[in-house]
Amino acid sequence: MENLNQYTDQAIELSMKYAPSLALAIITLIVGIIIINAFVKFLRKFLIKREVDESLVPFLASLTNVLLKAMLLISVASMVGIQTTSFIAVLGAAGLAIGLALQGSLSNFAGGVLILLFKPFKVGDVIEAQGVIAAVHAIRIFHTELKTFDNKTIILPNALLSNDKIINYSTEEKRKVEWIFGIGYSDDIDKAREVIKKVIFTDSRVLDKDNPFINVAELGDSSVNFKVRAQVKGEDYWGVYFEMTENVKKAFDKAGISIPFPQNDVHLYQNA
């Protein structure tokens, strides 16, 4: 009977000592789970609103949910007196080892997340990156697929794309096409300007017909060089560029305007 009373007293003492901490830990656990679920739900809506790739939304939401709940459980365990220092140290060491082993893959994954979140380019855009110009065919978690104009597939790691310069040729609805046309020093500058204006700035795809940019840009070694700019829609850029280059050459030929090419004069001297 004495032992029973002793055990009862010990149980009461332990209850009085740990009951408040246990109750607080349970409340913290319940409230924390409610807050985490609400935050994950908000994160899903935010990612969908930002038009993040559909395959990435559930992955990011699940990853965030697991990480936050793991942190919550560690906090609750410490509240009831469970030593979590060694447990955290083991997790940290394991995480470090995994991170070092998958360093390249994790960099590509982080780059893919940044690309899908901030959208420096999207599928269908024409970009210049890592020395290539191509259209974006697909954006994956670890890499991005590009299609060149001659239908070759280029796969670039997302780590390179997220940490280097990218030129996006499809961001703006309108673009400026630029040409350099050279004429001979003996040709009439005003006549050449009129020919260029008639060929380029009467085309229906050119948007700034009323304000043509045709100026002498350089007096070269063998030619007077005109710089010409015309505004067009993005989808008309290459068609206008190539067609007008050919049409101006033909118009110069008809007008008797020469397009000089580099040449050297060779003088021969005969000694008596």
Mapped onto helix, strand or coil, the DSSP state of residue 200 is helix
Among residues 29, 57, 20, the alpha carbon closest in space to that of 41 is found at 57
**DSSP E strands: which ranges in the chain?**
126-129, 132-139, 143-147, 153-157, 167-168, 174-183, 213-219, 224-233
Q: Which domain holds residue 51?
A: 2-101
In the predicted model, what is the mean pLDDT of residues 29-43? 87
Give the model confidence (pLDDT) of 236-268 as tens digits. Answer: 998 999 999 999 999 999 999 998 877 666 777
CATH code of the domain containing 156: 2.30.30.60
Q: For residue 157, is it within any domain?
A: yes
Residues 6 or more apart from 196 whose CB is under 8 A from it?
181, 214, 226, 228, 248, 251
CATH code of the domain containing 62: 1.10.287.1260
pLDDT of res. 188? 94
Rg of the Cα trace of the chain? 35
Between 122 and 177, the more confident residue is: 177
pLDDT of res. 94? 58
In the predicted model, what is the mean pLDDT of residues 126-141? 88
Pairwise CA distance, residues 60 & 99, whole Å: 18
pLDDT grade, residue 102 (50/70/90)? Answer: very low
> What are the phi and psi torsion angles at 268 (to 5°)?
-105, 130
**For the chain, how many structural domains are there in total?**
3
Q: For residue 260, is it within any domain?
A: no
Q: For residue 266, is it within any domain?
A: no
**What DSSP character marks residue 184?**
-
- As given in the structure block, the two tokens for residue 124 are 């269908």
In the predicted model, what is the mean pLDDT of residues 182-210? 94
CATH code of the domain containing 184: 3.30.70.100
Length of the chain: 272
CA atoms within 13 A on the CB side of 5: 2
In the predicted model, what is the mean pLDDT of residues 125-143? 87
pLDDT of res. 28? 82
Q: For residue 6, is it within any domain?
A: yes
Whole-model pTM: value is 0.59
Burial (CB count within 10 angstroms: exposed 0-12, middle 13-18, buried 19+), residue 122: middle
**90 with 128, same domain?**
no
